[in-house]
Each structure stands twice: as structure tokens, then as C-alpha cells.
Amino acid sequence: MKSGPETEWIENRPSRGLRLPDLREVWQYRELAYFLALRDLKVRYKQAAFGAAWAVFQPLVLTAVFTIVFTRIARFQTELPYPVFALSGLIVWTYISGSLTKATQVLVANTPLVTKVYFPRVLAPVASVLPGLVDFLLSLAILTVVMPFFGARPGWAILTLPLWMVAMVAVVLGVSFLLGTLNVRYRDVTHGIALLVQLWIFVSPVAYESAQVSEGWRGLYFLNPVAGVIEGFRWSLAGQSWPGPEVFLSLAVGLALLATGVLYFQHAERRFADVI
């Protein structure tokens, strides 16, 4: 409400039907996303003795474990040196799994903000996936240092790396919009997301090549949008061979998830404050 002689009431009515976010309004509130992301980043490393080193510690340790298990015991064969192969996949997977978990729970974790302050709710999941990019870039720097030791070098495909990073974030946001909306009403999603992440890694080419999937199953396999992102990332940065046109199927599924997630989120947004 405005004060003064020309006082008037402004009523915020719930929208109806499916709609896209108001991009002008989102841009006006962009600083809120920045401060939410900065807050999460500070909390993550508050009183942490090793600070940002934890961002690269987990993928490096998992790379060592994967290398021992899958090359010494399971005898997996990969086109790239296995440490490079595993680390490149784990960098992407660590970002996706961590950001997906946080973005799915962000609305419930910020209940007072959602119920008492008006802002474009879509900014909450967006802000929650930004801190993970800092860890991703730190891990990426470690990978570029490790690669020359194993003779892995990128080619011209390195120019497409930003595309795969955008696709990676799009997949996380698409799934987060869907599951985060459901989590507002059904807290079971919080428990289910942990199981989903555990199962998802086995149907994604993190520890094994997608080329090991039989030809008859490749189309179904690449309906997993993470599969295309990881394989495209390895192709662009580590010099792995082009995985095939099935990658475009993964990208299409990722875009469809993002569009569906945004529309569903915007449709349910009007009831968040009532049911959260």
C-alpha cells in the first residue's frame, strides 16, 4: 500500500492456468538470488578447516576408489585413461547430485521466507544451484591439471564446453522444479530424492562407458539426460570420441524436463504459502 494523499491498495492475486515466469520481475529480484547463493556458500565452508579443498577432495577420493575397483578388479576398459575418465564423470555427477538435493529442499528449508516475503519463488531453486558451480569449477581446474599426466588433451570440441555446462544446470533445474514443488506438499520426496540419487548413478556413464551399453538399449539409455551431459562433457574436455547422435536425445529430454518443471512450478506457486 502506498502512503500519502494518493493512497491506493495493490492486491496480489493468484494467477490462473499455466504460465512462464515474468522475466522482468525475475531480473528485478536478481540480487536476492545472489545473496541467497552467497549465504549458502558461506554456510557450506563456515568453520571448515580445509575450506574449498573439500570441493575437490570427494571426486579425487572416489576416482581413486573407482580406479582400483573397476580397473584392477572388474577389468573395465575405457578409451580414456581410467583416472581421467572417472574424474571427468564424477565432477559432473557430484554437481548434479549435490545441487539436486539442495534445490529440491530449498523451499521447505526457507519456509519463513516463502510465507512472509514476496519474491519470484523461482529464484529460490535457481539460487540453490549456483554455489555448486564454484565447486564444479574448482574440480574442473584439478582435472585440467591431471589430464596431461595421463596424455589426455582436448581438441576443438573444447569450444562446446559451455553448452554442456548449461545443459548440466538445465537438467538439475528441471528435476528440481518438479520434485521441489512436490516436496512442498509431500515431505516423502525428501526421503525419495536420496534413493533417486543412489540409483541414478548406476544408469549414468560415471564409472563405465555408454559404449558398453548394447545397441538395442542405447536409445532407452540416453533418455537419461545425465548420460548425454556426461558423455558430451568428456568429449569436449577430455578428448573422448563423439558418443553418437543419441546425445541429442538426452539434450531434448533435458529441455523437456526444464520446460515441464518451470510450468508445473509456476502453476503450483500460488499455493506454496498455504501448504508449506
**CA dist., res. 236 & res. 141, Å (int):** 15
pLDDT in tens, 64-117: 888 888 887 777 888 899 999 999 999 999 999 999 999 999 888 888 888 887
Q: Distance of alpha carbon 77 from its chain centroid, rounded?
A: 28
Q: Distance of alpha carbon 218 from its chain centroid, rounded?
A: 23
- Let me know: does 42 contact 34? Beta carbons within 8 Å: no
**CA dist., res. 188 & res. 172, Å (int):** 19
Q: What pLDDT does 10 receive?
A: 45
Q: What pLDDT does 272 receive?
A: 78
DSSP secondary structure code for residue 271 in this structure: G
**CA dist., res. 29 & res. 252, Å (int):** 29
Res. 15 pLDDT band, cuts 50 70 90? low
pLDDT in tens, 212-253: 888 888 989 999 999 999 999 999 998 898 988 999 999 999
- Let me know: does 225 contact 256? Beta carbons within 8 Å: no
**CA dist., res. 274 & res. 121, Å (int):** 14
Average model confidence (pLDDT) for the chain?
Answer: 85
pLDDT in tens, 132-158: 998 899 899 999 989 999 888 888 999
Q: What's the length of the chain?
A: 276
pLDDT in tens, 245-265: 999 999 999 999 999 999 999
Q: What pLDDT does 8 receive?
A: 52
* One-letter amino acid of 144: T
- Let me know: does 82 contact 76? Beta carbons within 8 Å: yes
**CA dist., res. 174 & res. 166, Å (int):** 12
Give the list of residues 6+ apart from residue 236 with CB closer than 8 angstroms, or none: 154, 157, 158, 159, 160, 161, 163, 164
Give the list of residues 6+ apart from residue 117 with CB closer than 8 angstroms, or none: none
Give the list of residues 6+ apart from residue 259 with CB closer than 8 angstroms, or none: 174
Res. 36 pLDDT band, cuts 50 70 90? confident
Q: pTM for the whole thing?
A: 0.87
Q: What pLDDT does 9 receive?
A: 52
